[in-house]
A and B are shown apart, each in its own frame.
Chain A
Amino acid sequence: MRPLTEEETKIFFEKLSKYIGENIKLLLDRPDGTYCFRLHKDRVFYVREEIMKLAGNIARKNLISMGTCFGKFTGSQKFKLHITALDFIAPYAKYKVWVKPSAEQQFVYGHHVMKSGLGRITENTPQYQGVIVYSMNDLPLGFGVAAKTTQECRRADPMAIVSFHQSDIGEYIRSEEKLV
């Protein structure tokens, strides 16, 4: 376990800011305690300081997880956001996509969001913007990348992809072993 280096922080924030923009500040500056990001086995954890200090007593080999895992660095030093980060990202999301109940299952099984399954979308979403996918009754389902702008979505045909799948809550079951 160690703090992120400058380079790593940059890569990590670049990815995170695609989804929540400047709201990352709210994650770093919290009134209810000091929180920090820690790297452990290529994974980035978001932990309260006290818990981090306690976790430091556990041998590196034995430490599986602490706080919330935000994602991991791949072999080529790119950052991959995990579904476990959803709880912290969803409240601060800038751009959202709502999925119709009929298309909910499709998304949770790891498919892209089609125009036919699109319920609502945030106004003025640019292309390739990170978006949070919600069900119609405002339950966050995962996150994706907008394949089209809101303007283009209006004219797209029903089978056109609106949002590329990145991660969904189905992964808790599908790739349980990869998450931690």
Chain B
Amino acid sequence: MNIDYSKEAPVVAGRLSLAEIEELVAKPLDTKPDRKYFIALSIAVSALMIGAISLGLSFYWGLGLWGNNQPIGWAFDIVNFVFWVGIGHAGTLISAILFLLRQKWRTGIARFAEAMTIFAVICAGLFPAIHTGRPWLDGYLLPYPNQHSLWVNFTSPLLWDVFAVSTYFTVSLVFWYIGLIPDFATLRDRTNSKIKKTIYSIFSLGWRHSSRHWQHYEKAYMLLAGFATPLVLSVHTIVSFDFAVSILPGWHTTIFPPYFVAGAIFSGFAMVVTVLVFVRKVFNLENIITMDHLDKMNKVILATGMMVGYAYGMEFFIAWYSGVQAEQFVFVNRAFGPYAWAYWIMVSCNVIFPQLFWFRKFRRSIPVMMVIVILVNVGMWFERFVITVTSLHRDFLPSSWGYYVPTLYDFGLLIGSFGLFFTLVILFTKTLPVVSISEVKAVAEGAQPSHHGGVVNA
């Protein structure tokens, strides 16, 4: 394991030529899907259907079908919302923040992660919409001059959410689409099918790889990255405000904004690794999504996992240090009360197991990695569960204490959101290039003029 630090590790392995890269990425789009694909798709769609049925029944009979009840008025709906928004953060992090930090290894995974962002935000957006109970009235969330001559409450964090999530979705989509334009043009120029060509032409807008355009394009990409970076922080910050501006012990704590953002990146990266491990195997992209990339992502998971651990610790310490009884009770109750099982699942999955990533051997082992990232996904879901439910279930008066038990419909909706996510992911892999062709070409060996220091592994 002797690394030569004087040389940059190649971003694209296997000394692929530009044409080979393109061939590799575009191949899934040219071939008919096989049986495995349909099996995977049918599993995902079945899960989606479970969700759809639960949702239909929830609307028909009302939200009384869910387990939410006093004092736990917020449960799976908000837990799933925060979970999915968190998953969505990895994509923008990879495409924007790593872009600004000039991490070339992002090119191989950026497209996929961005797509996952969009799908995850779709899943996330679903929950606030349905938890209103009458989603056909959600239009009132927008500040338009309505017949009540009332305006929305701009001082409410729930309204900030509406703005944050919709802005985030729009910007991610635009960012994603901008990245796709050159690839659409490339696909247009290589296909022989007339229908495909028409579709690709429409979406490529007539892109012709002109350097006069590339100049603006790169500038725009940088500006968008510059905006997406604070945006991605702001979104989960605002999600954390939903909790933290209240005066509920366990919710009201100042570390929530950075803590939520770190947690979001943590869970998002875990989800990206979970999916990428399959994608690189199935589509033979091992040379483009290399072990080095997974290694680096696992390092990010380790780092953000420790940030989350830091926040857990700080919350506990300051709860004791504050001298506020209610605050102290909530945290003791969290760790040793009736929901202690959820708390310790959270701590072990988020803080303890990722410590294995200290070792290079584990960071680069697919089975170990798979187990850990799935545990992280579970742990991060439980983190939101712990924050929401344990803070609520023991109200200030013991007469209003309760114990939340989710119903089948709650689980149905959770499964359904996973179904929706994976259905979209699976459809995406066969309709659009899962790796940015132009970006990967740009960082391939010998792709840049030699005098410009861009030569990789020369």
Mutual binders A and B:
no
Residues of A within 8 A of B (CB): none
Residues of B within 8 A of A (CB): none
